[in-house]
Structure 1
Amino acid sequence: MRQRIITGLLAALLFLTMLAAGSKWYALMIIALAVLGYQEFVRLNGMRAREPASLVGFAGILYLVVPWGVLFGWPVPPQQTVVWLLMFLFFALTVVSQNRTSIDKIALLFIGVVYIGVGFHYMIFTRWMTDGLFWTLLLFGCIWLTDVGAYFAGRLLGKRLLWPSISPKKTVEGAVGGVLISIATAVVFSLLRPELLTLLEAVAIGIVVSVLGQLGDLIQSAYKRVRNIKDSGTILPGHGGILDRTDSWIIVFPFVHLLGLLPQ
């Protein structure tokens, strides 16, 4: 537990420092996390990072996550075009390799690119918005305090298991506690900047972020259970890997934009 707390505090300090330092520093950190996360995804599916199919996947991650136009002023094709090209390249590898690179393998790698690449893309996109620091802190605050609320509510009140076949310790009471803390967090942000966020909008964001964040955590737990592993990696002592810590983020950030909960 001591190691977990120390790692968590140091990681949080570094993360918040980079977030406050500016959009470019934050973007560099998120890009690094995305690459490390995809490397974990490749490894937990029993593949090597240097094989051709994996390299195509890494290229897809970099395209989706790096804000090429903002950072370098480079024109880039639309995301849907590149996603299709990635699919084509993955399929072409099955032909060139005479099926040594299987359909099953490229399907997993392609899903990983979309899952991780789009998720981390929206983390950077949110920070680059007008008042992006506010919106980014709002979403992360709701995500992180959902975890805190769910943990303590589960410890104090938890009786009914939420989904024991996937995550045997999570409870319904803990999940509800996480939602309530997330709503309270969003309301505080609304009170601080009422010109940006009304109370009604805050409540909606608090509910959506908490529910989706907990679902994102269950998605990763289910996947790890299929692969029969405890953690996606070991880079964060006491916490596991990058995907273990960002599973909620990957789902929350794209979804709040798809739902139109943040300014467009």
Structure 2
Amino acid sequence: MTAPAAPAASSGALGRRLATAAVGLPILLAVVWVGGWPYAVVCGVAAVLASAEFVHGWLFPMRPVYEAFRFLPGFAITGAMVAGSRVGWEFVVAGLVLAAMFAAAGFAPTRAFGPQKPYRVFAACILYIGLLGSTFVLVREAEHGRSWVILGFLATFTTDTGAYAIGRLFGRHKLAPRISPKKTWEGAVGGYAAGFVAVLVLNDWLNTSVTWRTALHLAVPFPLAAIAGDLLESWMKRRMGVKDTSRLLPGHGGFLDRLDSLILTFPLLYLFVVLRAS
């Protein structure tokens, strides 16, 4: 009697996924288009929520995620780094100083500072989400920033989609079975090809004023960063012992689940934009 419930459950998950996308995508597109403080604040809020998921997963994954929000003042550091990067690097540098302090406290005597692990987790959170996440705003503030952000999102999603589709159709050889058993070399190659082409096509379509020869310097490493970010997130979730980082985004898991590939592609994109402008 329980067998027919599987398709219903699957369709229900798909419905939640589509509903979340229907609400989230227009908001994302609107703030990317407007830029400025609206975009920076949305990125900062996303960083705060991702920080809660990060700390929750490493420290107490078996408890409800809302328990992590008692550390909200600490999560505000990453939010300030990301949103404040619109003003200047001062916010990012301040966050790095705090990360160093947290890391130092993590290796200090336990009786003086309490449990060691939380300090190291907070330091890693500031570096992983605060430092890397600040590039979401820094790219938008650059010349042709709107076009670069759109390229970053779409090329990353294309890489992920290509890897998933080719992996499902032709995947035979495991890429990293201890980290993510479902990922295959065939999927990785398909994702790389899709991402490579996407960068070149989007660069031309969005009129970034970059020639295709110059865009090759971005197209070659970009899909690798997307694949590496996905694997890094999978490794962290395996170490945490969780399937999804939270249920804050119905049908999609958590914010970290959506940022996995982006958290490495945007720093690479920012580096490319800065070097091109220099």
Q: TM-score, structure 2 length as denominator? A: 0.81
Q: Structure 1, unaligned stretches of length 5 or more?
A: none
Alpha-carbon offset, residue 164 of structure 1: 1.4
Instruction: Report if aligned partners of 2:45, 2:79 keep a CA contact under 8 Å in 1.
Output: no
Aligned match of 2:40: 27
* Residue 152 (structure 2) pairs with residue 135 (structure 1): no
Letter in 1 for 2:205: L
Letter in 1 for 2:277: P
Q: Quick one: percent identity of the two aligned structures?
A: 31
Instruction: Report if aligned partners of 1:119, 1:249 keep a CA contact under 8 Å in 2.
Output: no
Match of 1:36 among 36, 42, 49: 49
Alpha-carbon offset, residue 200 of structure 1: 2.4
Match of 1:65 among 82, 85, 88: 82
Alpha-carbon offset, residue 29 of structure 1: 0.9
Q: Distance in 1 between matches of 2:225 and 2:106?
A: 35
Letter in 1 for 2:264: I
- Alpha-carbon spacing, 1:90–1:180, altered in 2? closer, same or farther (3 Å): closer
User: Which residues of 2 match residues 158-197 of structure 1 at below 5 A?
Assistant: 158-192=171-205, 196-197=209-210
Aligned match of 1:116: 129
Aligned match of 2:9: none
Alpha-carbon offset, residue 169 of structure 1: 1.2
Q: TM-score, structure 1 length as denominator? A: 0.85
Alpha-carbon offset, residue 193 of structure 1: 5.2
RMSD between aligned alpha carbons? 2.7
SS at match of 1:229: coil
Alpha-carbon offset, residue 114 of structure 1: 0.7
Q: Structure 2, unaligned stretches of length 5 or more?
A: 1-13, 61-66
Aligned match of 2:7: none
Letter in 1 for 2:132: G
Instruction: Report if aligned partners of 2:179, 2:238 keep a CA contact under 8 Å in 1.
Output: yes
Moved more, 197-206 or 244-253: 197-206
- Alpha-carbon spacing, 1:93–1:187, altered in 2? closer, same or farther (3 Å): closer
Letter in 2 for 1:186: V
SS at match of 1:237: coil
Aligned match of 1:204: 217
Instruction: Report if aligned partners of 1:91, 1:103 keep a CA contact under 8 Å in 2.
Output: no
Question: Deviations along 1:38-76, whole A, 9 cap, x unmatched?
Answer: 01111112255466xx45632431342122663xxxx87
Report how many residues are paired. Answer: 258
